[in-house]
Amino acid sequence: MAVKNLLKKERVDFILDKLESLYPETPVPLDHTDPYTLLVAVLLSAQCTDERVNQVTPALWELADNPRDMARVPVEEIQRVIRPCGLSPQKARAISRLSQILVNEYHGRVPENMAALETLPGVGHKTASVVMAQAFGHPAFPVDTHIHRLAQRWGLTSGKNVAQTEKDLKRVFPRDRWNKLHLQIIFYGREYCTARGCDGTVCEICTTCYPARKNPKKTRKA
């Protein structure tokens, strides 16, 4: 009897159950104490590992851990501290400018609003989604290149870009699972379905969802 791949509904149900069993708790990987420190940490994580960000931010918080104090720190000093994160000139300017905007326009508080967040320097849709989900608890599904890759391997998206992947994942997964699920997928991708360690034919989710898959799954880069 021929082995058949799971239907999409079956794949979704298996993925939800498997990730929940593996990662019942989903601590935010970036160390932070409030919406502002999370916002800055997520900004710093662009093209940088969470581990490196967590090594850098304690020294940054010693300089300033709130918008009012950060707005008074020279950009050069911010850049000196965050240099190990990469892209430090752009990131330092963004941190300085967004801190000034928060002070001048939002009474020193991070706005609990997606559109407002996306207008801040250095804050794109993914960063804003993380803040809305993890700082404020609003349903969001931040999609980075890792989630984009796994969603393609699992047959949940056509995989043209992260924006399309986000729409596709929101369509197939329950809204009340989005915030936790995006972290569960990240954790699974780092541990089992890595960029080089799995090609769509190795990890348990890939092999369970697609037992008949014989060739590596080619994924489109975001």
**Residue extents of the structural domains in the chain:** 8-26+142-209, 35-136
Q: What is the pLDDT along the chain (222 residues), one digit of tens a residue?
A: 678 999 999 999 999 999 999 999 999 999 999 999 999 999 999 999 999 999 999 999 999 999 999 999 999 999 999 999 999 999 999 999 999 999 999 999 999 999 999 999 999 999 999 999 999 999 999 998 889 999 999 999 987 899 999 999 999 999 999 999 999 999 999 999 998 999 999 999 999 999 999 999 988 876
Q: What is the CATH number of domain 35-136?
A: 1.10.340.30
Angle at 10 between CA 186 and CA 216, to 5 degrees: 60
Residue among 18, 50, 126, 176 flagged as catalytic:
126
CATH fold for domain 8-26+142-209: Endonuclease Iii, domain 2 (1.10.1670)
State the Cα–Cα distance between residues 24 and 70, nearest whole angstrom. 36
13 is catalytic: no
47 φ/ψ sector (left φ>0, alpha ψ -120 to 50, else beta): left
Residue among 18, 50, 144, 214 flagged as catalytic:
144
34 is catalytic: no
